[in-house]
A and B are shown apart, each in its own frame.
Chain A
Amino acid sequence: MDLTYVGMDFPRPDAVQKAQGKSVYLDDIRLPGMLYAEILRPEYAHAKILSIDTAAAEACEGVVAVVTGASCAYSYGDNIRDLIPMAVDKVRYIGEPLAAVIAESAYQAREAIKKIVVRYDPLPVYIDALEAMKPDAVLIHERNGEYWHLPAIHPVAKTNIAGHYILKKGDFEKALAAADFVVEGEFDYPFGSSSAIETHGAIVWFQNDGKIDCWSSSICPFIIREDLANTYGIPISDVRVRIPEIGGCFGYKSDITVEQTVAWIASHARGRPVKWVASRKADLESTLIGHGIRTRMKIAASKDGKFLGLQTRSYHSTGAYADTGINVSHAATHNSTGPYVFDNCDLQGYSVYTNTPPVGAFRGYGHQEAQLATERLVDMLARKMGMDPFLLREKNYIRPGSKNALGERMYVANGSVQDCAAKARAAIFRGNKPAEDERYFYGRGFAALMKSPKGASFQTKGCYLKLNKDGSATVTIGGVEVGQGLRTVVQQVTGEALKISPRKVRVNFEVDTLYSPYEWQTIGSMFTTMGGRAIIRAADRVIAILKKNASFALRCDEDFIEYDGEWLFVKSDPECRVAVGAVAQGYMTEDGRTVGELAQATSDARLPRYSGFDENGQGGAGVSYTFGAQACELRIEKSTGKITVDHFASSFDVGKVVNPRQIRGQVAGGVVMAIGATLYEKLQVGTDGKIANPHFGKYHLPTASEAPRRQTIEFVENPDVVGPFGARGIGEHPVIGVAPAILNAIYDAIGIEFTDIPVTPARILAGLQSRETPK
């Protein structure tokens, strides 16, 4: 395909404002009469609330209202309606909203909150799915099983199991019996935080005319709009949600998070806007966290290296509320095959209520947790068989024509894991690794990966497109920019589709449910694919209008008219033409009367290949898969146990690169984020449910000098059939193979099998020591 603008570097339209500190983020918003809220969190992670004494707080200077959940009678949730905005009769995790103060200033709210006195009756605390699943465990949700939920979710009443997901294909037991080699293991991807540098925050304003205004640092304005309308019993059109600039998302600002809580608080100060912005501690303890997935996995193989069967048990400590975590469990379970064909699958996932912050989306959404197990086990299997791990993988990769665990058939347009594997391998494994020296051990590791199009069958993205009189265009989309570069993609795809320079395309910054087209939410690495397709459909409609208008000017049938971005002309006589500007707003005849219509269009797009699921979980989940491979070269310092990633290589089949500089940024950033999870980051939840490190001093994000010294980032371009000009998504993919690639490299370096992360220097030193201790 001959492309002019897609595939080129274009600068971000928002970069200057951001670099100058002029962009407006949630906490930068100032509204007339604005009040500030502070939220009280409990002292126990699981306890009955005996009493809350708010009198002293109410008497404090500047306090407008003190709010508790006592009278709160509603719940919400888009998958399982188990969420409440504020604790009612018990608390279920250490960050749960328990009470709030609304005051004239943030300082006054902070001071008054200290005066609230709560009495508790503590209950047993469960911080791990395996403990909470035990038959004698105290129920975290007495009403589990009674909550409204989507039909594909299967809670087990009278237990803490919020969802039991089963996926069966073929006969795993038969495969196991026929196997020559079996490997199994348990792998743990512990709790972590998306930790955008901007924390969560929201402003809610109950207007005296009955309407609700909301601003939030969120990527799902339309879900917030519908949820608030539903909760407060007003028309959807009476809720207006605006999304200012967002300082990073990485998952945890998707789904409804803090907005219902802030709304509940603000409903006690009607007529004035109420702002709440999370402190870093509140962000780490009370907004959505990630992972918490323990995977037990078994792979059965024949002696010639064919994978016969896969058994997975995914135990997900989903936290105190399961609405946002349940689909992460599903994704972890059905993507636990990695990029391989298994004819026999016995995959089960348990989403289990625990007394920990609710798990929600985290960049990667279950994939990195499950494929840590897959890619470590495949390496272990290769060693057990005495087979080259690359050859073993090669024999089992998903190829065009093969079917995945869900029974979805793959086509060339789904991309090639083999091509990605070859690139990542070539970058790292060419030649020999450095020999062990006095200071360091050296190791190399590899992981192939698969990313599913996680989302909902009804997910839709819309586009409004206007062509202006000077040939420039204005695009309004419902997709939210979080730093990923969506606005540039919109400009480039619009430019390509309309054959005009992306510099002439203006894209909306703020998403506003009053003016922006509907979008379910900007999740799942799906904006480029679906948003891009919506833009092309709108552009096609605009061009059709231009041709219709031109047919009046050129006195010629529409299908005889061609469009080149500047002119509309008669195919057989290009000199017979009219400028785009002259027909962008209808065609004005010489006497000023105008015919035709405005060159503007609305459109939308969905993924085409969804179906329902049968009793074994077989069905279509959208089929827009992406494949990739990652590999690394690292050194381990003998004296300190410190791991330095010298070179990290990533390759993904993205169908078509839209913006080379931006896509490199997405991958480089994703790799470093997952290096954080692999080597440094873990939310340390004690047995009492308290979090020991709810601040950046002890929850350590990687710094510049901890990033790999070198990243090789390459792409394969087997065009997609749905995405614009063949493009697929890339947002989440770079985090998926990082942990297994590094852990495989650690094994290569020192022969120690780590099965959980983070692998800290202390663990390396302990491992080296026990390796040297004679048994």
Chain B
Amino acid sequence: MKDHVTFKLNGREVSVALAREKKLLEILREDLGMTGTKCGCDSGICGACTVVIDGKEVKSCLYSSERLDGVEVLTIEGLSVNSIHPIQKALIDAGAVQCGYCTPGIVMGLYALYSSNPEAEEAEILKVLDRHLCRCTGYETIVEGAIAARSLFSTTGTR
């Protein structure tokens, strides 16, 4: 039985101790000190902990450490190191950032969507946003920002 798992985190290989009770969220925040990914409900509902694994939107609070072996994880810290990512810019410009606690998760959710489907239709965008709870905005600005992000994303490409 292995006692460590090795995976790619924001382009770099990392190895962490395998702990059955630990989910990826706790590994990111507590073991690796990467606090950009937030914990809102710890039960896979609110979406604040969303990261991208092998191109897919994943709730890190439910993702067990065993499954990490060999995967590629992208977190909010890896999305835009020295600049503002177009998705972030679109959300900011729309006024979709209020308390900001749900924002990193939404950014990652939209990144996964647009990376695989740059032409996503509004219904698909809404389906992604339905996996993210926001208590501040009433979603109006988030939907607006998400739609604007699509065109920014497709014109500027990824990262």
Q: What is the interface of chain A, defined by CB distance below 8 A to chain B?
A: 11-12, 14-25, 27-28, 30, 105-107, 194-199, 245-250, 279-280, 482-485, 661-662, 664-665, 667-673, 695-697, 701, 703-705, 707, 711
Contacts and interface: CB of A to CB of B under 8 A. Distances in A.
Interface string B35-58: 111111111011010000000000
A11 B92 contact: yes
Nearest to B81: A20
A21 B35 contact: yes
**A-B pairs with lowest CB-CB distance, top 7:** A21-B36, A18-B100, A483-B99, A247-B101, A668-B138, A672-B138, A21-B76
Interface stretch (B65-73, B112-120, B139-147): B139-147
Contacts of B104: 19-21
Interface string B130-144: 101111111111110
Contacts of B157: none
Nearest to B87: A19
B129 A669 contact: no
Contacts of A279: 42
Given A20-B80, A21-B76, A24-B35, A196 B129 contact: no
A28 B137 CA distance: 23
Contacts of B74: none
A664 B136 CA distance: 11
A702 to B, nearest CB: 8
Interface in B1-52: 21-22, 26, 29-30, 33, 35-43, 45-46, 48
A15 B75 CA distance: 18
Interface of B: 21-22, 26, 29-30, 33, 35-43, 45-46, 48, 75-77, 79-80, 84, 88, 91-93, 95, 97-104, 107, 126, 129-130, 132-143
B84 to A, nearest CB: 6
B139 A248 contact: no
A701 B138 contact: no
B88 A20 contact: yes
Given A196-B99, A704-B142, 15 more contacts: A27-B29, A195-B135, A247-B40, A247-B99, A247-B101, A248-B135, A483-B98, A672-B139, A673-B138, A696-B40, A703-B133, A704-B132, A705-B130, A707-B139, A711-B138
Given A21-B77, A483-B136, A15 B100 contact: yes
A668 B141 contact: yes
A665 B138 contact: yes
Contacts of A704: 126, 129-130, 132, 134, 139, 142-143
A701 B133 contact: yes
A286 to B, nearest CB: 15
B74 to A, nearest CB: 12
Contact of A21 (B37, B41, B140): B37
A15 B92 contact: yes
A17 B84 CA distance: 10
B130 A703 contact: yes
30 contacts: A11-B92, A12-B92, A16-B84, A16-B88, A18-B103, A19-B104, A21-B37, A21-B75, A194-B135, A195-B135, A196-B135, A197-B102, A247-B102, A250-B135, A280-B43, A482-B99, A483-B100, A665-B98, A665-B136, A665-B138, A667-B138, A670-B138, A673-B138, A695-B41, A695-B43, A696-B40, A696-B45, A697-B43, A701-B135, A711-B138
Nearest to B47: A197
Contact of A14 (B95, B100, B134, B139): B100
Given A21-B35, A27-B35, A107-B21, A669 B135 contact: yes
A30 B31 CA distance: 12
A668 B29 CA distance: 32
Contacts of A705: 126, 129-130
A21 B43 CA distance: 21
Most buried by A among B33, B76, B102, B139: B139
A245 B95 CA distance: 18
Contacts of A247: 38, 40, 99-102
A704 to B, nearest CB: 4
Contacts of A671: 138
Contact of A19 (B21, B103, B141): B103
A721 to B, nearest CB: 29
B98 A20 contact: no
Contacts of A12: 92, 95, 97
A249 B99 CA distance: 9
Contacts of A695: 41, 43, 45
Contacts of B41: 280, 695-696
A198 B99 contact: yes
Most buried by B among A19, A22, A250, A711: A19
B63 to A, nearest CB: 17
Nearest to A672: B138
A280 B42 contact: yes
A248 B133 contact: no
Contacts of A250: 135
Nearest to A695: B43
Given A248-B135, A483-B100, A707 B140 contact: yes
A427 B12 CA distance: 55
Contact of A669 (B21, B80, B84, B98): B98
A696 B43 contact: yes
A269 B153 CA distance: 51
Most buried by A among B41, B43, B130, B142: B41
B40 A197 contact: yes
Contacts of B88: 16, 19-20
Nearest to B98: A483
Contact of B48 (A197, A485, A707): A197
